[in-house]
Structure 1
Amino acid sequence: MHDLGLEARQFVRAHPNGVLSTLSKRLGGFPFGSIAPFMLDHAGRSVILISTLAEHTKNLDADPRCSLIAHPCAQDAQAAGRVTLVGHASRLAEKDAMGPRYLRYLPEAEGYFGMHDFFFYRLEIEAVRFIGGFGKIHWIAPADFAPPANDLDASEPGILAHMNADHVDNLRAYCAHVHGVQAQEVAMIGVDTDGFDVRADGRLLRFAFTQPVRNAGEVRQALVDLAHQCRQQA
């Protein structure tokens, strides 16, 4: 199941567009769906920023059970696959630790990040349903969906600063080699056990590592290997 867990996790990282389903307090427990952009933290838990005034937040405060469907914005969404994360969502005590990473991924949230009624909620996963296409349907245990233990929460800021200051040409080469995108303005905005993300001329591009990494040294080796591939194909 570990390979399926990795595949499902990679899918979620590549499609951070969610439908959040909560149990309606107003409607006596009926399912209530809403759109919720999200990101995964370094432990593979989805994090959303929502207002206490929102209906889904009131629902979660009354009953934390929920599900979040990650899906592509594709013409045929069923054929493209989806992952449903099921679990309990709880409010984080403060926003400052999570804020910088969240805003790198979702800069449009900056306008309301500082408002007093917005909080981060994090989903503790209890079940994962992965549909990767026709006939590829699996339940995945939370432990298999979770990334390996890592220290990237602490080392990520330094990695980003180094890449964006000293290796912009490499970032452009990654974009061209993996995605066929000739970008001018590039910035690495996040790195995790499974890969990294680059904002290229305003477009977010996902890059997967060939195998999970756990620390800054392994990230560096994975990036060096990718740069070598780019030079070979140049």
Structure 2
Amino acid sequence: MTTSPAAPQKREDPIRPTDDGARALAKTLLRSARSGSLATLGRDGHPSASLVSLATDSDGTPLILVSALSSHTGNLEADPRCSLLLAPGGKGDPLAHARITLKLQARKVAREGEEGARVRRRFLARQPKAALYADFGDFSFFALSVAGASLNGGFGRAYDLTAGDLLSDAAAASAVAAMEEGAVEHMNADHADAIRAYATGLLKAEDGEWELTGLDPDGADLARGDRVLRLPFPAPVTDAAGLRRMLVELAAQARASG
């Protein structure tokens, strides 16, 4: 008697439906990163990976500062397609920790004008030591426009994300960017206690002289020396008034929790 071969089992799709938790994790990985592995296409067509320092624009677009002497700069000028791996890691198996790979298109940012000034300010707020060489003639800022992303939140937690899942609303980002510099200076000068409460009360970080380094529609960036923290807002803000209310409400929550 002959038997029929068993029917092949249907392979389960490893990609989960994108939900708010995945979006929040992806935004945190992007907004918190200080460095990443940038993959470019060499002139021979072979992929090449380099370590780059990183910041984000007001809407979350990744920003890099690179030298004309670096091979990846020439690669980006010849072919702007690239990808960026952000993998902060942690204790134990590195594959058990969340990481994200971004599909990107590089664009050189002109030094002159409003965009150039904003990009320089936000990059140096995240990477203050880069002030030593940021204005050298052979260094340039690039904005890396997001085309999509692959998020791995740990074993069995894979997601495909769009640019809309990662980036802040453009109008909200523009509104917050217009008042960010003054708001950051004001908070650091007059509300250091609130910033300290954000770090210790809400983010459970060690006590110390924390500073506010950046604001955007989805959260605030804090730093103490080389240590950086991301304070995500419970809901996006869309204008200056909403940002002020959010900072006041979070300060009250932070002090209550401390």
Deviation at 1:55, TM superposition (A): 0.6
| Structure 1 residue 143 corresponds to structure 2 residue 164 | yes
1:100 aligns with 2:124: no
RMSD (Å), alpha carbons: 1.7
Identical positions, percent: 36
Residue from 67, 84, 108 that aligns with 1:91: 108
* Per-residue Cα deviation, 1:182-234 (whole angstroms, up to 9, x for no partner): 43423211011221112235522221111122222222222222122123234
Amino acid at match of 2:204: G
**Given the superposition, is the C-alpha separation of residues 97 and 190 from structure 1 closer, same or farther in structure 2, using an over 3 Å criterion?**
closer
Do the aligned partners of residues 120 and 10 (structure 1) sit closer, same or farther apart at CA in structure 2, a change above 3 Å counting? same
Alpha carbons of structure 1 residues 97 and 193: separation in structure 2 relative to 1, 3 Å: closer
- From 193, 205, 220, the equivalent of 1:181 is 205
Secondary structure of 1:133's counterpart equals coil
1:203 aligns with 2:227: yes
Partner residue of 1:126?
A: 147
**Letter matched to residue 201 of structure 2:** H
Matched, 1:47 2:71: no
Native 8 Å contact 2:37 2:86 kept in 1: yes
- State the 1:16 CA deviation: 3.1
Paired residue for 1:212, among 236, 239, 251?
A: 236
CA distance in 1, matches of 2:63, 2:163: 16
What is the deviation of 1:104? 1.1
* Residue 59 (1) aligns with residue 75 (2): yes
For residue 24 of structure 1, the aligned residue among 28, 42, 58 is 42
Over 3 Å counting, the alpha-carbon distance change for 1:69 and 1:221 in structure 2 is: same
The residue identity in structure 2 corresponding to 1:232 is A
Larger Rg: 2
Maintained 8 Å contact 2:55/2:64:
yes
Tell me the TM-score normalized by structure 1: 0.92
Q: Structure 2, unaligned stretches of length 5 or more?
A: 1-17
2:118 match: secondary structure: coil
After superposition, the Cα gap between the structure-2 partners of 1:229 and 1:74, relative to the gap in structure 1 and judged at 3 Å, is same
Deviation at 1:160, TM superposition (A): 0.5
Deviation string, structure 1 residues 147-201 (Cα, Å, up to 9, x no partner): 1231111111121022111111111122221233343423211011221112235
Residue 37 of structure 1 and its aligned partner are, at CA, apart by 1.6
Distance 1:201 1:127, change over 3 A: closer
Q: Unaligned stretches of 5+ in structure 1?
A: none
SS in 1 for 2:179: helix
Displacement of 1:85 in angstroms is 0.8
What corresponds to 2:33 in structure 1? 15
TM, length-normalised to structure 2: 0.84
Instruction: Confirm or deny that 1:194 pairs with 2:215.
Output: no
Matched residue SS, 2:117: coil
For the residues of structure 2 that align with 1:188 and 1:120, how far apart are their CA atoms? 23
**Range that drifts further, 6-15 or 78-87:** 6-15
- The answer to whether 1:77 aligns with 2:98 is no
CA distances 1:82-140 after superposition (whole Å, capped 9, x unpaired): 11111210111214332122111101111110100000111111121111111110111
Provide the secondary structure at the position in 1 that maps to 2:248.
helix
